[in-house]
Amino acid sequence: MPTYDYVCDSCDYRFELFQSITESAKRKCPKCKKSRLRRLIGTGAGILFKGSGFYVTDYRSESYKKAAEADKKAAAPPATDKSTGSDKPAKKSKPHE
């Protein structure tokens, strides 16, 4: 059950009220008894995660994982021969006899 913030437009009394979501907003101020009470729009509560943690990648489908792996392999640069700058692998030289 959420906690709602209220303010009275007549006496400026501010308070929090723990009430059900289905319950209608209160209208009568508990302090001055006038019907000038309004419920404020709050920022809400943050999400609390308990445990070791949750990550976006924890629940990826198998098809997503396979596509990501294929993308990673396609994006990898080809092996090059550093001495010639060629895309072909370097030739092994035979020792002179």
Of residues 3 and 86, the one with the higher pLDDT is: 3
23 DSSP assignment = S
Q: Is the pLDDT of residue 97 over 60?
A: no
For residue 74, the model assigns a pLDDT of 86
The answer to whether the predicted template modeling score (pTM) of the entire model surpasses 0.85 is: no
Segment 32-57 shows an average pLDDT of 76
Say if residues 22 and 57 touch (Cβ distance below 8 Å).
Answer: no
For residue 25, the model assigns a pLDDT of 92
Q: Is the pLDDT of residue 14 over 70?
A: yes
Of residues 77 and 16, the one with the higher pLDDT is: 16
